[in-house]
Structure 1
Amino acid sequence: MKTLAYIPSPTISEFAVGPFVIHIYALTMLLGIVLCVWILTVRWKKCGGTFDQVLDTTLVAVPCGIVGARLYHVITTPERFFGPNGDWVEIFRIWNGGLGIWGAIFLGALGAWAWCRHKHYPMALLADAVAPGLLVAQAVGRLGNWFNQELYGAPTTLPWGLRLNTEGTAIGQSEVCYDGSTCPTGTLFQPTFLYEMIWNLVGAALLVWLGHKTVRKLKAGSVFAMYVMWYTAGRTWIESLRIDFSHEFLGLRINIWVSIGVFIAGTIAFIIIQRVGTYTDVLSEKLRAISEQERKAQQHTK
């Protein structure tokens, strides 16, 4: 039966500009970071902050996040980098894919927290401001998986199934079916990259709406906790569709267990925040005072 509708896969995952090779995966990451910083800046300024504060925090958090993302992938798939079939140099080739969101969030948040503590910025306020931007960045980053032709789901007959190609430079072209079996020509696969893109963009819009509606009812940090719960809820079911190699525990992929655990942690954090947290208005006043002090200090040094 001929398939009448499907999502095609790109034939390239990189291109050359003179002597330089540009990886599309890296471009999607950069675009995601730029959009996240822009969203954060708009929301942070409304809270009384400045772009300079966002820029300084970003310069600390982003490198920490990238290192954390790579470390998570290395830890959860060590056979790719160590052992008889591993190549430890591959650790540094992040353009070939392999970044774990959990490591990115953990080390990125740790770096941001350390900087905020140093500068006395309200971390809960920053977390709420960046939450929608993180979902947008993660959505854009999934386009990199599409160009790399990787992390797709099981075979499907749905009209929006993903069709792979065996030409070009996409790194996933040799991973058809992943388990070593041969799929019939024209087999379509669940486009998990698209599912997560849609889930994340809907979540970003929802967080902005809920944050606006509940700003005087919920404590600062609540929006970030909701981000954690929303993303992990979606990641749990999307992860269950994927067929790329993953270590399992009790019949479930490790990332599913991590998603469940982080969802529970996010729920507990949300409850604790309501009990011991501070309202956004109070922290905004503190941030405005800090911003004013920094502005005066900058004028004094000119």
Structure 2
Amino acid sequence: MLELRSLVTTPLLASFPSPSRGVWYVGPLALRAYALFIIAGIVIAVIWGGKRYVARGGAPGRIGDLAVWCVPFGLVGGRLYHVITDHELYFGAGRNPWKAFAIWEGGLGIWGAVALGAVGLWLGCRHYKIPMAPVADALAAPLIVAQAIGRLGNYFNQELFGSLTTLPWGLEVFARTPDGVPAAVDACIFPGGGAPEFSTTYIKATPEVLCGTYQPTFLYELLWNLLVAALIVWADKRFRLGGGRVFALYVAGYTAGRVWIEALRIDPARTMVFGLRVNIVVSIVVFVLAVIFLIARRGVKREDPVLVAGTGGADDVQIDATNTDGAPHAGEQGALPDPDGDLPTEPGSQDVDYASEVDPEPAATTVDTAGPPRQDAGTTVVISKDVVERGAGDDSGAAAPGGPSRD
């Protein structure tokens, strides 16, 4: 108590304040900062994830379709994880079990969100008959950026911070009371000891009562997530990762940071495993599994764009012929003809007279044996679904002129 009182009266050299409230009312409608940031993160993840998926060969708009499946599953899973690991908040003497459904007040566990969200994604991919790995890889960077945005909700809720600190970037935490009524410093003491905790519907007391300056662990995780997102984008572009390796990199990167950030937090951990906070133990286990997956799948490259579209893809799949992110390079499976009009072949293979291997067309059809038309850089080539199917059914194994390699 003495330490807290001294912090209240001692001028701080440098710090930043927490917001005065986490909810605003428009008539009977409550606008909660936590919910708004979660929604903003989801929207950004869908938009950016959709662009990354199209760059890999997926159908435009497909990520939005899949979001209808995985977002509800993710929200339910995240809430279940939180309620299970913090069940004392909702069940027992003096608790209201119905509060377990008040997701808008905060309380989502990332592991439950990822686990059930993945189930929803799997169901959606089965429904649209597309492979799941390219979708997960396309969503990896957008997902962790969405998590970073969601951490701003913790800032407005004045929650999830670390121990008292004198660091220049310390977070000022104030007592919050109903309608901002006056409060004593005693309001800063959490009943179970440790960090103060206030309802998100409260606002700062009048006059303001500073409880102390704490480690902004929500900010540490926000910045860490953005760094991991940058790493994912770079590694994906540099090594052309595929087969779920981008998503595994996201999981490994996030958990590596979550371990040390979680260790800084002082809010009560109601579930402990081996003397450690449950989130630390889960992070370590998931990190090890992600690293094992990365090692086991090393060397797996990005999928053929035609395969990414799946059997339930759009009738016309657009592929950028400029070898930008998502398009296969010359010589790779699914590569398009290069600007000089040469058909892609495997390194070291002999020249093949492709015209002589094409199945004869009906007599009324003229076959152009001069090779595929020249494609200028930046040209978008449209591969019709019937052309792909005809090439796939060619017993000779030769690719149709102008179509993707079926090696």
Kept in 1, the 8 Å contact 2:34–2:104? The answer is yes
Rounded to whole Å, the distance in 1 between the matches of 2:144 and 2:77 is 18
Rounded to whole Å, the distance in 1 between the matches of 2:92 and 2:143 is 35
Corresponding position: 1:159 with 2:168: yes
* Shift of residue 219, structure 1, vs aligned partner: 3.6
Rounded to whole Å, the distance in 1 between the matches of 2:45 and 2:194 is 40
Q: How does 1:15-164 map to 2 (within 5 A)?
A: 15-164=24-173
* Shift of residue 74, structure 1, vs aligned partner: 1.0
Paired residue for 1:259?
A: 283
* 181 and 248 in structure 1: CA distance in 2 versus 1, 3 angstrom threshold: closer
* Shift of residue 160, structure 1, vs aligned partner: 0.3
Paired residue for 1:180?
A: 193
Corresponding position: 1:269 with 2:276: no
Rounded to whole Å, the distance in 2 between the matches of 1:224 and 1:163 is 36
Rounded to whole Å, the distance in 2 between the matches of 1:68 and 1:236 is 21
Local SS of the residue matching 1:154 = coil
Gaps of 5+ in 1: 298-302
Q: How does 1:220-239 map to 2 (within 5 A)?
A: 220-239=243-262
Q: Deviations over 1:191-215 (max 9, x none)?
A: 0110000000111111001100000
Q: Deviations over 1:100-134 (max 9, x none)?
A: 00000000011101111222212110111000001
* 182 and 49 in structure 1: CA distance in 2 versus 1, 3 angstrom threshold: closer
Rounded to whole Å, the distance in 1 between the matches of 2:276 and 2:114 is 22
Kept in 1, the 8 Å contact 2:131–2:310? The answer is no
Gaps of 5+ in 2: 1-9, 180-184, 197-208, 318-383, 386-407
Corresponding position: 1:2 with 2:20: no
Corresponding position: 1:287 with 2:300: no
Rounded to whole Å, the distance in 2 between the matches of 1:176 and 1:7 is 21
* 248 and 21 in structure 1: CA distance in 2 versus 1, 3 angstrom threshold: same
Q: How many residues align?
A: 290
Moved more, 7-16 or 84-93: 84-93
Rounded to whole Å, the distance in 2 between the matches of 1:121 and 1:289 is 4
Rounded to whole Å, the distance in 2 between the matches of 1:162 and 1:12 is 15
Kept in 1, the 8 Å contact 2:174–2:211? The answer is no
Local SS of the residue matching 1:4 = coil
Rounded to whole Å, the distance in 2 between the matches of 1:120 and 1:254 is 37
Query: Alignment identity in percent?
Result: 45
Rounded to whole Å, the distance in 2 between the matches of 1:266 and 1:241 is 24
Higher helix share: 1
* 182 and 232 in structure 1: CA distance in 2 versus 1, 3 angstrom threshold: closer
Q: Runs ≥4 in structure 1, deviation > 6 angstroms?
A: 181-184, 294-297
Which one-letter code corresponds to 1:134 in the other structure?
L
Local SS of the residue matching 2:24 = strand
TM-score (norm 2): 0.67
* 176 and 293 in structure 1: CA distance in 2 versus 1, 3 angstrom threshold: farther
Local SS of the residue matching 2:264 = coil
* Shift of residue 97, structure 1, vs aligned partner: 1.4
* Shift of residue 177, structure 1, vs aligned partner: 5.7
Which one-letter code corresponds to 1:180 in the other structure?
G
TM-score (norm 1): 0.89
Local SS of the residue matching 1:51 = coil
* Shift of residue 77, structure 1, vs aligned partner: 1.3
Q: Deviations over 1:217-273 (max 9, x none)?
A: x44211110100000000000000001111222221111001001101111121232
Q: Deviations over 1:13-49 (max 9, x none)?
A: 1111122111111000000001111110110111122
* 25 and 175 in structure 1: CA distance in 2 versus 1, 3 angstrom threshold: farther
* 41 and 98 in structure 1: CA distance in 2 versus 1, 3 angstrom threshold: same
